[in-house]
Amino acid sequence: MIVGVHVGFNAKADADAGGNRHISQTIHVLSIKEVPKEVARQRQESCLPYAESMGSILSPSWQHACNDYLQWLSASKGLSVNTVKAYGSDIRECLHVLALRGISDLKLVKLMDLRSWLAHEARTHASSSLARKTVVVRSFFAYCADRNGWESDPAARLLTPKIGKQLPKVLNEQEARALMDRADEQAVKALRATALKGDAADRRETDDSRRAQGAGGTVFGSPQQLALERAEAVRDCAIAELLYATGIRVGELTAIDLLDVSEQTRTVLVHGKGSKDRVVPFGVPAQQALDSWLDEGRPVLKNDYSGDALFLGIRGRRINQRQVRIIVHRQATEAGVPDISPHALRHSAATHLLNGGADLREVQELLGHANLATTQRYTHVSLEQLKRRYCQAFPRA
């Protein structure tokens, strides 16, 4: 896959005439022969320590230029903290590769250098990530050229790799029901088990458990351990129910505070991308799961570091996105449904809403999409609704 990219670059470097034609073809190859997402994720995770330390070799002037651009983005574009952080990482990765190529001044960067960086990134990123990185780097160099009065912008002709149009991965309604039922069963099972084992633990406590507790350890089957298991089970159930019921993003879920949830109206205030808030309703099953979490789970995990966070990790702090992804993957495996991510639950919720007859604009509002075209891709997945409408409208259906 990547061999074709490097061959394209070599062919351009050897040819003065018609070089642009070879480069445009190389960029097109990137959009077609992308790295599989799972392979890209594994490669990317293996490079994290390397990526975190790359900023140390950047010159102070480059660091200053990057920080100035990020401050300008935050102040003028109203982007979220996570978005600005991701953009900063993209820019530093690019500057790191340029520094390794022996470039000491941003004014000396050539289009070929940026295309070499893009080929380097193609080894560990999907085409959608490459497109984002290209747009960010192009914007960064345009900012530098404008602020510093450069005669030309080396990134102006850097083409954006094409993103293949793929239908979102979703669960059908039966699979989604099986996933939610399994999560509910696990929570109920944990509540019953802890009640029974808790009574037995109160009646019988061995000398070994006394010594372990005196040493500050947690004993398997002790009341403390049983309470933690119960708290995790009801939390995981509430997370799955709320993700599916609202279709919110995993980052939006982890950012929810206690006061954002209204039990009276069964709505949650969601802090979306670009500091845009929206109110999203949820159903009775999600409300019941939240009640169990708030009554039986959260008080067990709560500590001085919990703050107002709705969902907590095992250490009592606000749960992070990685933990939520692990929870959803595990629940899908236990329920015997296709392995999905929290974002696939979001896709599933949107598709099922459209299948149920929800208006496209309403779904757009619920999901927090700025562009209706983003929501329209779910209409391609809603085949059941299409079939029903076809049978109703066409005389020879």
pLDDT at 300: 93
**How many whole angstroms separate alpha carbon 305 and alpha carbon 295?**
19
**How many whole angstroms separate alpha carbon 21 and alpha carbon 26?**
9
Domain ranges of the chain: 2-148, 173-391
Query: Could you count the other beta carbons within 10 Å of the beta carbon of residue 346?
Result: 22
pLDDT at 221: 58
pLDDT in tens, the chain (397 residues): 333 333 333 333 333 434 333 333 333 333 333 444 454 444 344 333 333 444 456 788 899 999 999 999 888 887 778 888 999 999 999 999 999 888 888 989 999 999 999 888 888 888 888 999 999 999 999 999 999 888 889 999 998 888 766 767 888 889 999 999 999 888 888 777 655 555 544 444 444 444 444 444 444 457 788 888 889 999 999 999 999 999 999 999 999 999 999 999 999 999 887 778 899 999 999 999 999 999 989 999 999 999 999 999 999 999 999 999 999 999 999 999 998 899 989 989 988 888 888 888 888 888 888 777 777 777 666 666 667 777 888 777 5
> What CATH code would you report for 173-391?
1.10.443.10
pLDDT at 203: 46
> Which residues make Cβ contacts (< 8 Å) with residue 258, sequence separation at least 6?
308, 309, 310
Q: Determine the 3-state secondary structure of 202 from DSSP.
A: helix
Query: Could you count the other beta carbons within 10 Å of the beta carbon of residue 115?
Result: 21
Give the predicted TM-score (pTM) of the model.
Answer: 0.66
The secondary element (H helix, E strand) that includes residue 279 is strand 277-281
pLDDT at 195: 58
pLDDT at 144: 93
Strand partners, 312: 318
Q: Determine the 3-state secondary structure of 31 from DSSP.
A: helix
pLDDT at 337: 92
Q: Which tokens is 280 given?
A: 């999203």
Output helix, strand, coil percentages for the chain, rounded to the nearest 5: 70, 5, 30
The secondary element (H helix, E strand) that includes residue 281 is strand 277-281
Residues annotated as catalytic are: 249, 273, 343, 346, 369, 378
Q: Determine the 3-state secondary structure of 318 from DSSP.
A: strand
Strand partners, 271: 277
